[in-house]
Amino acid sequence: MVSKSPPLCMCPAGWKLLAMLALVLVVMVWYSISREDRYIELFYFPIPEKKEPCLQGEAESKASKLFGNYSRDQPIFLRLEDYFWVKTPSAYELPYGTKGSEDLLLRVLAITSSSIPKNIQSLRCRRCVVVGNGHRLRNSSLGDAINKYDVVIRLNNAPVAGYEGDVGSKTTMRLFYPESAHFDPKVENNPDTLLVLVAFKAMDFHWIETILSDKKRVRKGFWKQPPLIWDVNPKQIRILNPFFMEIAADKLLSLPMQQPRKIKQKPTTGLLAITLALHLCDLVHIAGFGYPDAYNKKQTIHYYEQITLKSMAGSGHNVSQEALAIKRMLEMGAVKNLTSF
């Protein structure tokens, strides 16, 4: 004969145990969902059907918590008038100041401009988006949403043509340095796009001067050959104030201004663009930021080319440290993210 197991006891003690287990399960599920919701709330901002209200001074008040002695008195772009009869020269060399490069810079500022376009100046509240170059933009369908912002800031040579559905077609400003300048800027920018030079070294000023003045081109002193022919209108060129590089390095990444020559850490153009936006705009959103995890060796880092995180080796950028800085901004509500991070 086959013996049968005795039935499970459903005495009051058994019911209490089952109830406690069910309660623990419910709490665990709730906690998991709430954590996920909180993550999405902090690091992902779904595109609203209508324009988000823009409150004048909103970014300014939140940025003051990031940058300490926050001030909008600093000019966004370097001005020629600031380099005549200067009594207090810059304290730092490039990229954190202009010490030692003043004469060269004077020649560049004499043939470029420093003004902010009137259509931006006149805005009661400036809605800005900084478009990163990250792979998260691929197949994002964010193009139309990006085009609706008052100011669209792009980085380096990231293309627009052929990617309009994901990254939009409007470009108000494009930050670049000589090695990252697109060889045909008229293809990837609008006619009124401001091309904003981020100078990392004195040779960068020398390069832009030879291009705009049609002098003998500079071929040495760059880690990658920049364009030798660059068809741009000098009046669309701006020189970014190194002040923003300084505070991005100091306040966001805690980098020293004086570093050994062999160890030159510096912020990425992307983090610099966010810092600029927090000083120019009232509402700041970002899209396409974030790198793959370090263990993900095959994931591409850009939406437009097949290069991986390995290409960042030796760049002088600490992407992990920058990710923490951006997450801090997101947690504080200083910026909001249109893509996952």
- Give the pLDDT confidence of 122-168 residue by residue, as tens digits: 999 999 999 999 999 999 999 999 999 999 999 999 999 999 999 99
Does residue 257 contact residue 96 with C-beta atoms inside 8 Å? Answer: yes
CATH of the domain at 124: 3.90.1480.20
Structure confidence at residue 263 (pLDDT): 55
Q: 110 in a domain, yes or no? A: no
Q: 329 in a domain, yes or no? A: yes
* Own/partner pairs, 300-307, CB within 8 angstroms, 24+ separation: 300/135, 301/133, 301/134, 301/135, 302/133, 302/134, 302/135, 302/158, 303/133, 303/134, 303/135, 303/136, 303/137, 303/138, 303/158, 303/163, 303/166, 303/167, 304/133, 304/158, 304/159, 304/163
Structure confidence at residue 29 (pLDDT): 47
Please, what is the average pLDDT of the chain?
A: 85
Q: What angle do CA 90, 175, 304 make, to 5 degrees?
A: 150
Q: 17 in a domain, yes or no? A: no
Count of residues making up the chain: 341
What is d(CA 29, CA 6) in angstroms, rounded to the nearest whole number? 33
What is the extent of the structural domain holding 187? 55-76+117-202+236-337
Q: 223 in a domain, yes or no? A: no
Q: 267 in a domain, yes or no? A: yes
| pLDDT beyond 80 at 297 | no
More confident residue, 295 or 162: 162
Structure confidence at residue 314 (pLDDT): 60
Does residue 174 contact residue 155 with C-beta atoms inside 8 Å? Answer: yes
Q: Where are the alpha helices (DSSP H) in the chain?
A: 12-43, 58-67, 102-109, 118-121, 143-147, 164-167, 185-188, 202-213, 243-247, 269-280, 319-332
Q: Which residues contact 131 (CB under 8 A, 6 or more apart)?
A: 137, 146, 152, 153, 154, 155, 158, 167, 168, 286, 287, 288
Q: What angle do CA 82, 88, 90 make, to 5 degrees?
A: 75
| pLDDT beyond 70 at 340 | yes
Structure confidence at residue 236 (pLDDT): 97
For residue 72 the two structure tokens come to: 């909008």
Does residue 273 contact residue 130 with C-beta atoms inside 8 Å? Answer: yes
Q: Which residues contact 277 (CB under 8 A, 6 or more apart)?
A: 59, 128, 130, 151, 153, 284, 335
Residue with tokens 């293309």: 159
Structure confidence at residue 34 (pLDDT): 44
**pTM to 2 decimal places:** 0.84
* 240: β partners: 77
User: Which of 169-183, 247-261, 304-318 has the weakest average pLDDT?
Assistant: 304-318
Q: 182 in a domain, yes or no? A: yes
Overall average pLDDT of the 218-239 stretch: 94
- Give the pLDDT confidence of 75-132 residue by residue, as tens digits: 999 999 988 766 667 889 999 999 999 999 999 999 999 999 999 999 999 999 999 9
Q: 160 in a domain, yes or no? A: yes
Domain count, the chain: 1
Q: 12 in a domain, yes or no? A: no
Overall average pLDDT of the 186-207 stretch: 96
Confidence of residue 2 (pLDDT cuts 50, 70, 90): very low
What is d(CA 307, CA 333) in angstroms, rounded to the nearest whole number? 32
